[in-house]
Structure 1
Amino acid sequence: MEKYKKLRDLVSQLEGVQLENAPTVTDSQILYAHDASYLIKVLQGTLSPQEQKEIGFPWSTQMVERSRRSAGATLAAANIALKEGIAGNLAGGTHHAYRNKGSGFCVFNDSAIAARALQREVNPKLKVAVIDLDVHQGNGTASILENDASIFTLSIHGENNFPFTKEVSDLDIGLPDETADQSYLTALHQGLEMLEKRFKPDIMIYLAGADPHEGDRLGKLNISKDGMRQRDECVFQFGLDRHIPIAFSMAGGYGKEIQTTVDVHFQTIQTALQYQQRYR
């Protein structure tokens, strides 16, 4: 998508940011979150027409490579965040992918893969919180990580938006259409307070979707650009105050004008950079 190139071009001009090429996840890492039968179909190009339709684009070798790297970038960001406080993926947030199928433009679930990889490859006692602030519920993530007490899933989303049949996260906050800044930020503060009461994460994976923004074609919410900045600050401040590393991904954003989405994503990265410097 054009927004990713535009975003990378902007980020490349930021002082204090080191850009790295996204690594690929291995088959073994994908299997932390996905069924072997599904992985084989993706790798061999044997997804049915209906399965490809549910994903939202046709199978290709480029699709497989991009999906591997999207998940790899979130895992790499998480590993860097453990050392440096905050790191991000300029794509990712593929939260509609289920254990046994892709959906909603998502092939592999990068957040679930990264969370499980951290536990299996870095520290088996690591407690991970997935903070999903994309306007669409993280249904695939909730399903994959259901009944996993070591990973907490929090989703704040449009109640009347896709997916129309919701899964059950550890904490879901569904918002009505046209929700504006004050109500949104109040819900976020309440969600983070409940997270702190119920779960003490060692690292957070933050899906910083741009689609709650008022200029989004699909979002149905009414959050200003400044409200989006305050949202990001709320999450990063929560992490900083508790010395919790944060790995973030861009997730969704479908502005009526592409540049509007790029600007919201770029604002997230600028905010992350300000907070990352305070972790040191």
Structure 2
Amino acid sequence: MLKIAWNKQYAHTLPAGHRFPMLKYELLPQQLLHEGTIETANLFEPEPLPESLITATHDPVYWRRLNNLELSPAEIRKTGFPLSRELITREVVIMNGTVQAALFALEHGIAMNVAGGTHHAFTDRGEGFCLLNDMAIAANYLLQQQRVNQILIIDLDVHQGNGTAQIFKNEPRVFTFSMHGDHNYPLHKEKSDLDVPLPDGIEDVAYLKKLNEVLPRLLDAVKPDFIFYQSGVDILETDKLGRLKISLQGCKTRDRMVLEMCKQNQIPVAVSMGGGYSEKIATIVEAHANTFRLAQYLFF
């Protein structure tokens, strides 16, 4: 059974100025349920992540200051969110959603988090709407529990996974791959194990050709026994921040390539949704819904 992490806190604890792009966290499961792609049994509600798992990845001083709402105004501005107790609770629940999804993926082949993909969170700071790094926390947890030996993180959000790259720069058991807009945020890129920068305005054919050239080679070189997939849909032509020209069908084909690769090679995969900032919320929901539809179709 496809297991999907979702909690009402994903959608209902954000400040008013940030609610429009975050409506997807409420609408996406509703759409999947309405169309019959999933049933309520597919959804699970994660609890807040234990503090010990947070500090296994993030600097304990940073976590203490974040949890005590002690970040400076400049640090808060970098995160993009007004700091609040509700926001911290939301973030910690999202983190456990990806940890639990990873465990379900080991059992079922794939599992998903309606939120997550918070790849701009560094060991000791947050940036770009990311306070803690869910894929990094989950990857470290699997390694510490000796559930896996080699992890590949596939990050196809339009923005580089700079925080993830920094966290794992000295960890050979986690290979970080980011294919992102070269001239997009963040201005200063970290060094992933493999970075594939994309020009503004790239379209479906060139984008998918480049991805198809990279993925098989990565599997052969890295030999992962677990994959985390950051499936941001801000690569769409309609995205206000993306600067690429990928169609809805191109985005769906991208997801199919990644998920088919995982399925065919019997590599468990945990999927986090990442970004999406199109003008129409329906476009964002449809693009993300395609990822879930493919997961259900390919694996179950």
Q: Which TM bucket (shorter chain)?
A: over 0.9
Three-state SS of the structure 2 residue aligned to 1:24 is coil
Give the whole-Å Cα distance in 1 for the aligned partners of 2:158 and 2:265: 26
Q: Of 27, 30, 44, which aligns to 1:6?
A: 27
- Within 5 A, what are the aligned runs for 1:1-280? 1-13=22-34, 14-17=36-39, 18-123=42-147, 125-277=148-300
Three-state SS of the structure 1 residue aligned to 2:43 is coil
Give the whole-Å Cα distance in 1 for the aligned partners of 2:269 and 2:101: 9
Superposed displacement of residue 32, structure 1: 2.0
Superposed displacement of residue 69, structure 1: 1.0
Three-state SS of the structure 2 residue aligned to 1:169 is coil
CA contact (8 A) 1:154 1:191 kept: no
Give the whole-Å Cα distance in 2 for the aligned partners of 1:111 and 1:15: 25
Three-state SS of the structure 2 residue aligned to 1:12 is helix
Deviates more, 1:169-178 or 1:15-24: 15-24
Give the whole-Å Cα distance in 2 for the aligned partners of 1:15 and 1:270: 6
Report Cα offsets for 1:155-208 as digits up to 9, x if no partner: 010001000110011110000000000111111112212312320111100001
Three-state SS of the structure 1 residue aligned to 2:229 is strand
TM-score by length of 1: 0.96
Give the whole-Å Cα distance in 1 for the aligned partners of 2:297 and 2:146: 27
Give the AA of the match of 1:115.
Answer: A
The alignment yields a C-alpha RMSD, in angstroms, of: 1.1
Three-state SS of the structure 2 residue aligned to 1:173 is strand
Superposed displacement of residue 21, structure 1: 0.9
Give the AA of the match of 2:76.
Answer: Q
Gap runs ≥5 in structure 2:
1-21
Give the whole-Å Cα distance in 2 for the aligned partners of 1:61 and 1:76: 23
Give the AA of the match of 2:231.
Answer: A
Give the whole-Å Cα distance in 2 for the aligned partners of 1:76 and 1:4: 18
Give the AA of the match of 1:54.
Answer: K
CA contact (8 A) 2:112 2:271 kept: yes
% same residue: 41
Give the whole-Å Cα distance in 1 for the aligned partners of 2:149 and 2:83: 35
Superposed displacement of residue 215, structure 1: 0.9
Give the AA of the match of 2:131.
Answer: V
Report Cα offsets for 1:69-115 as digits up to 9, x if no partner: 11111111110000001110000000000000000000000010000
Three-state SS of the structure 2 residue aligned to 1:130 is strand
Give the whole-Å Cα distance in 2 for the aligned partners of 1:188 and 1:267: 18
Gap runs ≥5 in structure 1:
none
Superposed displacement of residue 122, structure 1: 4.5
Superposed displacement of residue 15, structure 1: 4.2
Size of the aligned set, in residue pairs, is 276
Give the AA of the match of 2:194.
Answer: L
Deviates more, 1:204-213 or 1:268-277: 268-277
Give the whole-Å Cα distance in 1 for the aligned partners of 2:33 and 2:151: 29
TM-score by length of 2: 0.90
Give the AA of the match of 1:53.
Answer: R
Give the AA of the match of 1:98.
Answer: F
